[in-house]
Amino acid sequence: MRLRSLLFSMFLVGGELCAQVPGTPAPNGSLFVYWGYNRAGYSWSDIHFNGPDYDFTLRHVEAGL
């Protein structure tokens, strides 16, 4: 139990110390490029709205970007 507590506290302190390390600033005129993609897929859905003055359903709708 003491070993587990010691390892846990070292993990917490180590994370805090690593987060405080300053990085080297990028020189002026540097260009950064990032590219990524998402493989998520969406299916058709029905959305039902119900309230005091309305009650309708949007059928066969698709999530958009």
The pLDDT of residue 40 is 73
The pLDDT of residue 59 is 93
- CA-nearest of 14, 63, 13, 24 to 41 is 63
Mean pLDDT for 14-34 is: 74
Looking at the DSSP bridge assignments, the partners of residue 47 are 58
Q: Lowest-confidence range among 4-18, 33-47, 50-64?
A: 4-18
The pLDDT of residue 11 is 75
Give the integer Cα–Cα distance in Å for 19 and 51: 49
User: How far does the chain reach from its first CA to its final CA, in angstroms?
Assistant: 50
pTM: 0.34
- Residue by residue, DSSP assigns 7-60 as HHHHHHHHHHHHHTPPPPPPPTT---------------EEEEEE-SS-EEEEEE
The pLDDT of residue 1 is 78
What value does the mean pLDDT of the chain take? 80
